[in-house]
Amino acid sequence: MFKKINFLFLNDRDNLWLFSFVFIFSCVSLLFCTINDQFEMLDFEVYYQAAQRIVSSQELYNIKSDGHYVFHYSPNAGIFFVPLLIFPLNIAKYIFWFLLTFILYFGVNSFISTVNKVEESLLDQKKKNIIVILSLLAVLKHVHFELTLGQVNMLILIVFMLIIKLYYLNKKHLFSILLSITIFIKPFGLIFIPYLVVKKEFKMLFLFLIYFITLSMLPLLFYSLSDFFHLYLSWFKELTAELNAKQNILSDYNHTIFSVLARFTAIKYLLVNETVKLIYQLLILSIVGIGILKFIQKGYCRQACLCEMILLISIIPLIAFTNDNAFIFELPIVLYLISKSHQMNLFKKSALIFSCALVGLNIYELVGKKTMLFLSSISIYTFGTIILLYLMFDLKWKNKTTA
C-alpha cells in the first residue's frame, strides 16, 4: 500500500503534475479566501456542531438558535464527522479542506484509470492527466465553492466515481457499504437503486439493504433506544420541511428540469395548484426514467455500465433541487466525453466546449456580479448539462454493437 502511495507522489512525474495542479488550486483558493476574510466554511461548521451534539447525546433538529444554518441531514451524517472533533474547529476546517483536496486528486486519478481500462484505451498517464485537468477546469467554480463552504457534494461525487470502479471489480460488499454511507449524507445515491433493479443485481441490492439497516443503528452508540426513535422522527420532520421549502418550481434559481421546462414554456400557466404541480413533476420524472431505459436498452456496447452510471450521476442536479454547486456532479460525464472527443465531429466538439462553459464559467471574477446573477437566473447550468447528456446519448448509440 505504501509503495503504491509513494509511486503516485514521487516516482511518476506525470502523476505529480496532476497532483500539483489540484494542490496548487486548493492552496490558491485558500489564500484567496483568507485574504478576503471569507474562510468560514459555514456548512462544515453545521456538521461539526452536529457531531459535538451527538457525542453529548443532545437534540439535533429544530433548534431555533441555529438560525439559517440548521442541521437537516440524517443523524449518521453527523456521526461521520465525529473523528474530526479531536481537533478544535479552526484546525478541523483546514484538515477538512485538504482532506477534500486529496480525495479529489485520488478520485479523479482513479476514475480516469477506470475509464482507460474499461474503454481499453492506450492513454498514457500524461494524456490522462490532460483530460482530467481539462475536466476539472469545467467544474472549477463548483470545486472552489465546495471547499469554501465545507460542503459534501464533492465527497459524495468521488465516492460515486469509486463505486463505478468497484462495480467493474465486482466488489459487491464495498460497493453496497459506500453507497449506503452516501445516502445517509445526502439521498442522491438512491438514483442507483432502480438501475440495480434493471440490471438484476439482486445480490447487490440485498447487501445494500443489509448495510443500510446496519448503519442506521449507529446513533445507538450515543443515544438510548427511546432517544434513537425520537431522533429519526425529528429527522423525518426536518426532511419533510426542507423538501416542502424547496418546491417552488417557478423560482429563477431552481435549476431542475421540472423548473426550467416550466419557466421557459407555456407550461408555467398550467401549474395552478400543488396537485397539478405534483402530477407535472411525476410526469417529467417518468419521461426522464423512460429516457434512461432507452439509453440502457438501445445503445449496447461493452462499456455500457460505465456510460450508464456516469449518466445517472450527471442527471442528479436536474432532478434534485439544490444549489449551483450540485453541478459538480457533471465532472464524470465531462471527463468521459473529453476522453472520447476524438470520435466527435467539429460541431459536437464545439458543443462540448460550449456546454462546459455553461456549466462552469459563470464566475463572478470573470463575468461580474450582475451578469453572474442573470446567467444563474436563466439556469445556464441546466442547459449545459442537457447538451452533455445529448452528446453522451449520441456517443453511446454511435458506438453500439450487437450483444
Average of per-residue pLDDT across 87-113: 93
Residue 221 covered by a domain:
no
Residue 384 covered by a domain:
yes
CA–CA distance, 358 with 375 (Å, rounded to integer): 9
Query: pTM of the full predicted structure?
Result: 0.91
Note down the domain range covering 252.
246-403
Residue 153 covered by a domain:
no
Residue 262 covered by a domain:
yes
**Residue 301 pLDDT:** 55
pLDDT, one tens digit per residue, over 276-320 is: 988 999 999 999 999 988 888 765 555 688 889 999 999 999 998
Contacts of 269 (CB under 8 A, 6+ apart): none
Q: Cα angle at 100 between 188 and 223, to 5 degrees?
A: 65
Residue 301 covered by a domain:
yes
Position with higher pLDDT, 348 vs 63: 348
Q: Cα angle at 164 between 162 and 166, to 5 degrees?
A: 70
**Residue 9 pLDDT:** 44
Tell me how far CA of residue 185 lies from CA of 19, 76, 81, 194, in angstroms. Answer: 27, 7, 11, 19
Please give the tally of structural domains in the chain. Answer: 1
Name the percent of the chain lying above pLDDT 90: 52
Q: Does 340 have pLDDT greater than 50? A: yes
For residue 327, what pLDDT band results from cuts at 50, 70 and 90?
Answer: very high
Residue 330 covered by a domain:
yes
**Residue 107 pLDDT:** 92
Residue 365 covered by a domain:
yes
Residue 114 covered by a domain:
no
CA–CA distance, 279 with 274 (Å, rounded to integer): 9
pLDDT, one tens digit per residue, over 217-265 is: 999 999 989 899 989 998 888 877 766 665 678 887 888 999 999 999 9
The amino acid occupying position 168 is Y
